[in-house]
Amino acid sequence: MPPRKRQVEDLAGEKILVVDDEAVVQKLIAHYLAKEGFQVITADTGYTALEMIRREKPDLILLDILLPELDGLEICQEIRSETNVPIIFITSKGETMDVALGLGVGGDDYVRKPFDPLEVVARVKAHLRRHRQLRKAGEVEKPKRVLDFPDLKIDLTNRTVEVNGLPAVLTAREFDILALLAENPNRFYSADKIMELVWKSRESVDYRSLMVHISKLRKKIEEDPANPKFIISVRGFGYKFSVLQSP
What was the pLDDT predicted at 139? 54
**Mean pLDDT across 153-157:** 89
**Mean pLDDT across 81-95:** 82
pLDDT in tens, 19-43: 999 999 999 999 999 999 999 999 9
Query: Alpha-carbon distance 174 to 176, whole Å?
Result: 5
Q: Which CATH superfamily is domain 2-136 in?
A: Response regulator (3.40.50.2300)
**Mean pLDDT across 153-170:** 89
Ranges of CATH 3.40.50.2300 domains, the chain: 2-136
pTM of the predicted model as reported, rounded to 2 decimal places: 0.58
As a whole-number percent, the residues of the chain with pLDDT over 90 amount to: 47
What was the pLDDT predicted at 5? 46
Ranges of CATH 1.10.10.10 domains, the chain: 146-241
Query: By the 8 A CB rule, do 42 and 72 touch?
Result: no
Query: Alpha-carbon distance 122 to 129, whole Å?
Result: 11
Higher pLDDT, 198 or 4: 198
Q: Name which of 24-38, 102-116, 210-224 the model is least confident about.
A: 102-116
What was the pLDDT predicted at 27? 95
What was the pLDDT predicted at 246? 46
**Mean pLDDT across 141-150:** 77
Architecture of domain 146-241: Orthogonal Bundle (1.10)
Query: Alpha-carbon distance 89 to 113, whole Å?
Result: 11
